[in-house]
């Protein structure tokens, strides 16, 4: 094979320092990124590209290697204590984590991994060093960007530290290819981090259309113990200021205060667990419900996965995604795939995940009055929006995402080989 020829990778090293694809999304640091890695890795393996995911071991009970799916291994790397750590503490463990990754590769034949794909800036720091050691391309997905988050902080959230901003810039400068979830994120990488436009690919995340699909809403409500005739607004995700579940509670209280909804009919479903800065006040949302006088109208559920999560989406009249920042909005697409309209904040990638007026409604800002009006409007025209939601969600699939990622890997490999060929000619 000539130096400038490209090939589909045989094996990909996926780096996910701070969270494992084996963890349940909706609590701790587990969220859409976990789903993204698990879904795309599984589909890559089905296409003949093996995947090994490197993540930090958070318990001594974890095996060194676990199988996520046929052809997908998860390697637990010892770096720091065998316990969950706050993300702010993890930069101090990157040296240990990098050593574990490099030692794993050193026990293999040279050229064992064809591509490195790092997720989040911490992993990008490790990937940058591994790329130089192994001589293979580094593809990086940021998922969230510090400069973007700091421009739209939620009340109670501290700004991302300067060290993260610098670390992200280093990864952007070093990565062979950058994967953005949306065109909005691609423009942010170029404008805020001076990324080279020809090294940025936009690859939309997907949704499991076999699992998340319309079904029997009455049966799903019965299974969750919800009244058949209730007006159900749901929030699904990590409970932290960034995700803004408080906005839904305040909007619900306003609807009751206006008399727009009969009290006995309204039910707010909050599905998820404390995460990030939300861990500092794990009962804050329950306390807010009490102050608003709606404790009897709010039901809290732990994080749900798989078919149970699909049941939650289908049971709701409307799903609210009031995040202050969202690079894409996986919850929004999953809910719509189940035939449930979404009311979302008009931030980040949510205007792409939600078709305003077609599959749901977008709200500028986080004022409770605006959200109350939007939720009520979406509920009134739910049948129309539900049909549009299913149509819109069908644009997104993990198969399409996986194909695009494999294409980006191939292009990154091709570009590296062209560089090597030019270097050989120069010598």
- Output the known binding site: 18, 24-25, 29-34, 87, 120, 144, 164, 238, 243, 304, 313-314, 316, 326, 334, 340
d(CA 353, CA 375): 17
3-class state of residue 320 by DSSP: strand
Reading the block at residue 140, the tokens are 């990086």
Q: Which of 346, 307, 313 is nearest to 329 (CA)?
A: 346
Q: Compute the residue count for the chain.
A: 427
Q: Which residues are annotated as a binding site for Mg(2+)?
A: 313-314, 316, 340
d(CA 241, CA 262): 29
CB contact set of 131 (below 8 Å; sequence gap of 6+): 116, 137, 138, 174, 176
Which residues are paired to 200 by β-bridges? 178
In 10 A of CB 424, how many CB atoms?
Answer: 9
3-class state of residue 19 by DSSP: coil
Q: What is the greatest pairwise CA distance in the chain?
A: 79
Q: Which residues are annotated as a binding site for UDP-N-acetyl-alpha-D-glucosamine?
A: 24-25, 32, 238, 243, 304, 326, 334
The DSSP H or E segment spanning 361 is strand 360-363
In 10 A of CB 391, how many CB atoms?
Answer: 12
d(CA 233, CA 358): 19
3-class state of residue 305 by DSSP: coil
Q: Are 105 and 127 in contact, with CB atoms under 8 Å apart?
A: no
In 10 A of CB 93, how many CB atoms?
Answer: 19
Q: Are 275 and 19 in contact, with CB atoms under 8 Å apart?
A: no
The DSSP H or E segment spanning 344 is strand 342-345
Q: Which residues are annotated as a binding site for 1D-myo-inositol 3-phosphate?
A: 18, 29-34, 87, 120, 144, 164
d(CA 175, CA 115): 12
The alpha helices in 183-305, defined as continuous H runs, are 183-193, 217-224, 245-258, 284-292
């Amino acid at each position: 094979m000539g130096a400038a020829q490209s090939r589909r990778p045989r094996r990909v090293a996926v780096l996910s320092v701070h969270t494992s694809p084996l963890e349940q999304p909706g609590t701790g640091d587990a969220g859409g990124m976990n789903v993204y890695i698990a879904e795309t890795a599984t589909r890559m393996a089905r296409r003949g590209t093996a995947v090994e995911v490197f993540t930090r071991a958070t318990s001594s009970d974890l095996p060194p290697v676990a199988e996520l799916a046929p052809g997908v291994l998860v390697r637990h790397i010892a770096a720091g204590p065998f316990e969950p750590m706050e993300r702010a503490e993890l930069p101090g463990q990157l040296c240990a984590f990098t050593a574990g990754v490099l030692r794993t590769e050193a026990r293999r034949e040279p050229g064992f991994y064809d591509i490195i794909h790092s997720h989040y800036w911490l992993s990008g720091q490790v990937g940058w060093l591994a790329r130089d050691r192994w001589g293979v391309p580094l593809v990086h997905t940021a998922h969230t960007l510090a400069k973007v988050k700091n421009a739209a902080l939620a009340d109670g959230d501290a700004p991302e530290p300067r060290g993260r901003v610098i670390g992200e810039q280093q990864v952007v400068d070093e990565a062979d290819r950058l994967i953005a979830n949306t065109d909005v994120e691609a423009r942010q990488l170029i404008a805020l981090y001076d990324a080279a436009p020809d090294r940025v690919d936009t690859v939309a995340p997907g949704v499991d259309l076999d699992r998340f699909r319309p079904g029997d809403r009455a049966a799903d409500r019965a299974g969750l113990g919800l009244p058949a005739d209730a007006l159900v607004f749901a929030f699904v995700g990590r409970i932290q200021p960034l995700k803004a579940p408080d906005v839904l509670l305040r909007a619900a209280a306003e609807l009751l205060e206006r008399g727009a909804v009969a009290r006995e009919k309204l039910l707010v479903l909050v599905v998820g667990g404390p995460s990030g800065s939300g861990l500092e006040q794990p009962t804050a949302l329950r306390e807010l419900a009490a102050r608003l006088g709606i404790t009897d109208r709010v039901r809290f559920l732990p994080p749900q996965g798989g078919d149970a999560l699909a049941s939650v989406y289908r049971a709701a009249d409307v799903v609210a995604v009031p995040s202050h920042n969202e690079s894409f909005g996986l919850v929004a697409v999953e809910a719509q795939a189940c035939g449930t309209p979404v009311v979302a904040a008009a931030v980040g990638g949510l205007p792409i995940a939600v078709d305003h007026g077609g599959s749901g409604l977008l709200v500028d800002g986080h004022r409770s009055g605006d959200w109350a009006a939007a939720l009520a409007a979406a509920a009134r025209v739910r049948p129309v929006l539900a049909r549009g939601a299913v149509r819109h969600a069908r644009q997104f699939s993990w198969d399409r995402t996986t194909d695009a990622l494999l294409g980006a890997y191939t292009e990154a490999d091709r570009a590296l080989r062209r560089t090597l060929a030019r270097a050989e000619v120069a010598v």
